[in-house]
Amino acid sequence: MTMNHPYDDFPHLLFSNNTATATSTSSCVEQHDGISLDMDWDCDFHNLIESMMSDKGATTESPPLLPCYHGQEGIFNSSSTGSSMADELDHDVEAGESKGLRLVHLLVAAADASIGADKTRELTRVLLAKLKDMTSPNDRTNMERLAAHFTNGLSKLHKEANVQRQYGPHQHPDHVYDQVDVMLAFQMLQNMSPYINFGYLTATQAILEAVKYERRIHIVDYDITDGVQWPSLMQALVSRNTGPSAQHLRITALSRATNGKKSVAAVQEAGRRLTAFAESIGQPFSYHHCRMDSDTFNPSSLKLVRGEAVVINCMLHLPRFGHQPPNSIISFLSEAKTLNPKLVTLVHEEVGLMGNQGFLYRFMDLLHQFSAIFDSLEAGPARGFVERVIFGPWVSGWLTRIAITDDGAEVESVASWPLWLATNGFKPVEVSFANRCQAKLLLSLFNDGYGVEELGKNGLVLGWKSRRLVSASFWASCESSE
Amino acid sequence: MFHAKKPSSMNGSYENRAMCVQGDSGLVLTTDPKPRLRWTVELHERFVDAVAQLGGPDKATPKTIMRVMGVKGLTLYHLKSHLQKFRLGKQPHKEYGDHSTKEGSRASAMDIQRNVASSSGMMSRNMNEMQMEVQRRLHEQLEVQRHLQMRIEAQGKYMQSILERACQTLAGENMAAASGGAFKGNLGSSSLSAAVGPHPLSFPPFQDLNIYGNTTDQVLDHHNFHHQNIDQNHYTTNNAADTNIYLGKKRPNPSFGNDVRKELLMWSNQDHEPIDDEHRIQIQMATHVSTDLDSLSEIYDRKPGLSGDEGNNCGKLLERSSPRRSPLSPMMNPNGGLIQGRNSPFE
């Protein structure tokens, strides 16, 4: 059966007029062997492709905004890169098909085909094979390497679809990296980008301010990972309290059933490390581990002490390799409200949660997000390692997640976390001048191109060029006293 | 602006307009006919701390502040006016009608005049407030910078310790499995930080490290925290220099046939996954100091403190300065399975 590859015609379709008009692309919406690309190939997607086609050096031009970001431009507009979207449109696009453009085409095509009906399975396989052929995690340009990871992720999805789709939460990545590898890569990532530490340090600053006059502090941490967030808090407490005014710190870390006993052990290990650190600097500290046996969080399983200020810490932006159902987060936040927390810190990626936008849209958003992150990382010999160990599985995890929710097996019920909090009994807590200052200072340590923007009165957003990457916001339960 | 500055000494070094003497109590008083108190940065910091301890400028009273500060010679009068100014600084939109005695206000205005470099005449109250606000903000920014440094440092130390722990465990596992002394040497505690730990002043960006050759002409500037230099991104520090050195090292490790940097280059170019244990350990080892290998022809620069010696560049590879340890000392024993083999917190 001869496969009709509609996507091979794309270059001509898109650039036949050599303008940015959208009309020339609307002919894409055709039926080919039951495949329909029912997409709105509007102006902005065109720009996206164009921006991705430039293979100049190791970085791509700043990707233009996807439609949904128009309203949130703030400081993140393309003029910060020195070129406007109009300039990009004027590029001579007929200078051959660049590989980057082809890759984006193929990726989007493969993504679309992968969620199609049965007939598209063969198409998917062919497209993915082609992509695999064209890319490798060691390629020269960011786009090529990123495409390799996306190809990999899509392949896994495809494979699973062919076998029997598991709606289980746990994915088995192709290559299980050792814990040390992951830890090493994680730390290297912190040196290459402020992505992780922006969340940690901003949240920590807000916590310090909120609990300034409290004698006892109790932090309930949804996802403690290695506990890397907390030493800086401990240090700050020690340095500002002397003698009898020492504040006691307690951390309860959650482990979720969906992640199995590995995560239990990891949480416990984090506790040991934090306890040792606290002792070494003389910070009164105690640690507890709370297991979430299902997706529901039960606050009564926490040990509470009278007179302590409760802080809820929710770091959702960290690289996750498995699938995290949003329900457990929802349950956690809802139930935690009953604890009357003095502060809720929420840090999350600016991707993925779009409500019901459809797989393809979210796929492109994901591509956009990771392109920005890839571009923003500092170059260096460690980079390939970090990309392989962290980004590969991270991309795969995300792809699985958006595929599952697209299936309808799971409803992505949260369009935006801040919105959810605002409408579920939480009130905003203002970001301080010191916090904004600290964020800017942090960014100054890295590549030019990062920016921090205010998110209402109670949040900060870290972005790379025109793309928002991760945002931190602060809340308190409506009943808590100020 | 981002350099950590020590608070200026009590002798008012940052401003030497008026003549000042330091009394027995440690307070700085001016020498004009009616001695006035000079609110130095240090004194002000103590004031701010005291106010914070008492629950904020609205809750604190001059009396309690005086008690908490415990500074001899400080009178209620001083504190009253300073507290008032402080409150004003915090709430620039406050109504003027709330102020206390006119005398107090006038005294405040004159205090500010003395404290400010301008020699113009009487300033309006608005200007005073703005001055206070600006000073407060500057002060706060300095604080933020200082705090950030310490926090980053704390985090770095912690990360170093957990990585060390993980490596030890892993190495211990490999000791059992590996055939014969491939991995000699202790993991120097300062060494891991080279790979990943952020230096107090910065996170060393790897891009600045030229690991594939000597960079005798590359000057690595430690204290380059300058805002102005963002285009170059030379936030390299001792740490970075060390990393550079470590990565470029020639390891006499028997398993390495070649230069470790070639090994790294090869490794990073291969499209193989997963990395087998031995290679990975060695890669990691390559980022550590191993200070007890006799056959080392090049020795690492001992990681200096912030002693400000400029140009700590890779050309100094040949300096022998690291402490000697007993050669062939066994690997640190894994700490009884603290970290079970394959737990990944990222699952």
Nearest-10 crossing angle of helices A359-376, A392-407: 160
Which residue of chain B is at minimal alpha-carbon distance from A384? B268
- What is the phi/psi pair of residue A314, to 5°? -130, 95
Q: Which of A13 and A313 is assigned the larger pLDDT? A: A313
> Tell me: the pLDDT tens digits for B183-201?
333 333 334 444 444 433 4
What's residue A109's pLDDT?
86
What's residue A406's pLDDT?
60
The shortest C-alpha distance from A423 to chain B (Å) reads 30
Contact A226, A259 (CB under 8 A): no
Distance in angstroms (rounded) separating the CA atoms of residues B236 and B224? 7
Mean pLDDT, residues A139-143: 80
Does A236 sit within 8 Å of B346, measured CB to CB? no
> Tell me: the pLDDT tens digits for A387-407?
989 998 899 888 887 777 665
Does B345 sit within 8 Å of A270, measured CB to CB? yes
Contact B296, B256 (CB under 8 A): no
Mean pLDDT, residues A433-457: 93
Mean pLDDT, residues A439-450: 92
Closest CA to A266 of A283, A254, A248: A254
Give the H or E element holding residue A440. helix A433-443
Q: Which two tokens stand for residue A356?
A: 């019901």
What's residue B58's pLDDT?
77
Which residue of chain B is at minimal alpha-carbon distance from A175? B274
Cα B257 from chain centre: 39
Lowest mean pLDDT among A366-370, B175-179, B265-269: B265-269
Distance in angstroms (rounded) separating the CA atoms of residues B87 and B131? 13
Percentage of the residues of chain B whose pLDDT score is greater than 90: 8
Task: Give the contacts of A232 (CB within 8 A, at least 6 positions apart).
Answer: A200, A201, A204, B150, B151, B152, B154, B155
Q: Which amino acid is at A423?
A: T
Mean pLDDT, residues A456-472: 93
Does B163 sit within 8 Å of A184, measured CB to CB? yes
Which residue of chain A is at minimal alpha-carbon distance from B234? A445
Mean pLDDT, residues A464-477: 93
Residue B10 has pLDDT above 50, yes or no: no
Reported as half-sphere exposure (CB side, CA atoms, 13 A), residue A70 has a value of 5
The shortest C-alpha distance from B169 to chain A (Å) reads 9
What's residue A208's pLDDT?
95
Largest CA distance in chain A: 81
The shortest C-alpha distance from A15 to chain B (Å) reads 35
Nearest Cβ partner for A380 among B150, B205, B341: B205
Nearest Cβ partner for A441 among B145, B247, B264: B145
Does A269 sit within 8 Å of B338, measured CB to CB? yes
Please give, one letter per residue, the 3-state secondary structure of chain B: CCCCCCCCCCCCCCCCCCCEEECCCCCEEECCCCCCECCCHHHHHHHHHHHHHCCCCCCCCHHHHHHHHCCCCCCHHHHHHHHHHHHHHHCCCCCHHHCCCHHHHHHHHHHHHHHCCCCCCCCCHHHHHHHHHHHHHHHHHHHHHHHHHHHHHHHHHHHHHHHHHHHHHHHHHHHHHCCCCCCCCCCCCCCHHHHCCCCCCCCCCHHHCCCCCCCCCCCCCCCCCCHHHHHCCCCCCHHHHHHHHHHCCCCCCCCCCCCHHHHHHHHHHCCCCCCCHHHHHHHHHHCCCCCCCCCCCCCCCCCCCCCCCCCCCHHHHHCCCCCCCCCCCCCCCCCCCCCCCCCCCCC
Lowest mean pLDDT among A263-272, B26-35, B104-113: B104-113
Which residue of chain A is at minimal alpha-carbon distance from B192? A184
Does A170 sit within 8 Å of B203, measured CB to CB? no
Cα B65 from chain centre: 31
Nearest Cβ partner for B148 among A179, A212, A438: A438
Contact A417, A353 (CB under 8 A): yes
What's residue A155's pLDDT?
86
Distance in angstroms (rounded) separating the CA atoms of residues A181 and B273? 12
Does A388 sit within 8 Å of B343, measured CB to CB? no
The shortest C-alpha distance from B326 to chain A (Å) reads 27
Instruction: Please list every residue in chain A whose beta carbon sits closer than 8 Å to the beta carbon of residue B157.
Output: 231, 277
Of A45-59, A181-195, B296-310, give the range with the top mean pLDDT: A181-195
The shortest C-alpha distance from B199 to chain A (Å) reads 10
Q: Which two tokens stand for residue A470?
A: 């991760």
Indicate the pLDDT class of residue A5, thresholds 50, 70 and 90: very low
Residues in chain A: 482
Cα B159 from chain centre: 15
Contact A7, A22 (CB under 8 A): no
Closest CA to B159 of A379, A387, A246, A200: A200
Lowest mean pLDDT among A155-164, A174-183, A231-240, B144-153: A155-164
What's residue A473's pLDDT?
95
Report CA torsion sign: A389, A316, A49, A107.
positive
Lowest mean pLDDT among A25-29, A248-252, A337-341: A25-29
Indicate the pLDDT class of residue A306, thresholds 50, 70 and 90: confident
Q: Which two tokens stand for residue A428?
A: 């905003």
The shortest C-alpha distance from B108 to chain A (Å) reads 26
Does A176 sit within 8 Å of B203, measured CB to CB? no
Closest CA to B289 of B260, B312, B313: B260
Lowest mean pLDDT among A183-187, B77-81, B114-118: B114-118
> Tell me: the pLDDT tens digits for B130-180?
999 999 989 999 999 999 999 999 999 999 999 888 888 777 777 766 544
Residue A145 has pLDDT above 50, yes or no: yes
**Cα–Cα distance list, B220 to B134, B149, B316 (Å):** 35, 19, 12
Residue B245 has pLDDT above 50, yes or no: no
Q: A221: which strand partners?
A: A253, A313
Instruction: Please list every residue in chain B whose beta carbon sits closer than 8 Å to the beta carbon of residue A272.
Output: 338
Q: Which two tokens stand for residue B40?
A: 């130095």
What's residue A141's pLDDT?
80
Closest CA to B196 of B152, B248, B253: B152
What's residue B334's pLDDT?
39
- What is the phi/psi pair of residue A426, to 5°? -120, 145
Q: What is the mean pLDDT of chain B?
A: 56
DSSP A12-77: HHHHSS-S--SGGGGGG--EETTEE------HHHHHHHHHHH---TT-PPPPPPPGGGGGG-TT--
What's residue A283's pLDDT?
93
Lowest mean pLDDT among A435-444, B33-42, B295-304: B295-304
Q: Which of A404 and A195 is assigned the larger pLDDT? A: A195
> Tell me: the pLDDT tens digits for B200-236?
344 434 333 333 333 333 333 333 334 443 333 333 3
Does A184 sit within 8 Å of B284, measured CB to CB? yes
Q: Determine the 3-state secondary structure of A343 from DSSP.
A: strand
The shortest C-alpha distance from A168 to chain B (Å) reads 13
Interface A-B, measured as beta-carbon pairs within 8 A, has a size of 196
Closest CA to B195 of A183, A331, A389, A167: A183
- What is the phi/psi pair of residue A396, to 5°? -60, -45
What's residue A68's pLDDT?
35
What's residue A398's pLDDT?
86
What's residue A238's pLDDT?
93
Nearest Cβ partner for A272 among B205, B338, B342: B338
The shortest C-alpha distance from B121 to chain A (Å) reads 32
Instruction: Please list every residue in chain B whose beta carbon sits closer than 8 Å to the beta carbon of residue A262.
Output: 342-344, 347
> Tell me: the pLDDT tens digits for A30-48?
333 333 343 444 444 445 5
Residue A8 has pLDDT above 50, yes or no: no
**Cα–Cα distance list, A334 to A298, A338, B153 (Å):** 10, 8, 35
Residue B40 has pLDDT above 50, yes or no: yes
Instruction: Please list every residue in chain B whose beta carbon sits closer than 8 Å to the beta carbon of residue A441.
Output: 2, 144-145, 148
Q: A475: which strand partners?
A: A344, A428
Does A322 sit within 8 Å of B347, measured CB to CB? yes
Q: Which of B164 and A115 is assigned the larger pLDDT? A: B164
What's residue A353's pLDDT?
58
Mean pLDDT, residues B287-298: 38
* Residue labelled with tokens 């019901």: A356
Nearest Cβ partner for A179 among B202, B277, B343: B343
Q: Which of B126 and B290 is assigned the larger pLDDT? A: B126
Percentage of the residues of chain B whose pLDDT score is greater than 70: 30
Residue A458 has pLDDT above 90, yes or no: yes
Distance in angstroms (rounded) separating the CA atoms of residues A125 and A110? 8
Instruction: Please list every residue in chain A whose beta carbon sits closer than 8 Å to the beta carbon of residue B277.
Output: 178
Residue B54 has pLDDT above 90, yes or no: no
Q: Which of A255 and B224 is assigned the larger pLDDT? A: A255
Q: What is the mean pLDDT of chain A?
A: 76
Distance in angstroms (rounded) separating the CA atoms of residues A441 and A438? 5
Distance in angstroms (rounded) separating the CA atoms of residues A108 and A128? 11
| Pairing mode, strands A216-221 and A248-256 | parallel
Residue A475 has pLDDT above 80, yes or no: yes
Contact B208, B241 (CB under 8 A): no
Does A239 sit within 8 Å of B150, measured CB to CB? yes
Does B162 sit within 8 Å of A226, measured CB to CB? yes
Q: A472: which strand partners?
A: A347, A460
Does A437 sit within 8 Å of B158, measured CB to CB? no
What's residue B289's pLDDT?
36
Mean pLDDT, residues A125-138: 83
Mean pLDDT, residues A330-350: 91
Residue A99 has pLDDT above 50, yes or no: yes
Does B205 sit within 8 Å of A378, measured CB to CB? yes
Indicate the pLDDT class of residue B314, thresholds 50, 70 and 90: very low
Nearest Cβ partner for B206 among A192, A260, A445: A192
Does B280 sit within 8 Å of A277, measured CB to CB? no
Closest CA to B229 of A180, A444, A149: A444
**Cα–Cα distance list, A448 to A78, A461, A465 (Å):** 14, 16, 9
Q: Which two tokens stand for residue A433?
A: 């001048």
- What is the phi/psi pair of residue B54, to 5°? -90, 5
Q: Which of B342 and A313 is assigned the larger pLDDT? A: A313
Closest CA to A313 of A220, A248, A229: A220
**Cα B288–B290–B293 angle (5° rounding)?**
155
What's residue A405's pLDDT?
63
Q: Return the residue in B155, B183, B236 with the most chain A beta carbons within 10 A, the one to mutate for interface testing.
A: B155
Distance in angstroms (rounded) separating the CA atoms of residues A462 and B141? 20
- What is the phi/psi pair of residue A347, to 5°? -125, 125
Does B270 sit within 8 Å of A378, measured CB to CB? no
Does B198 sit within 8 Å of A191, measured CB to CB? yes
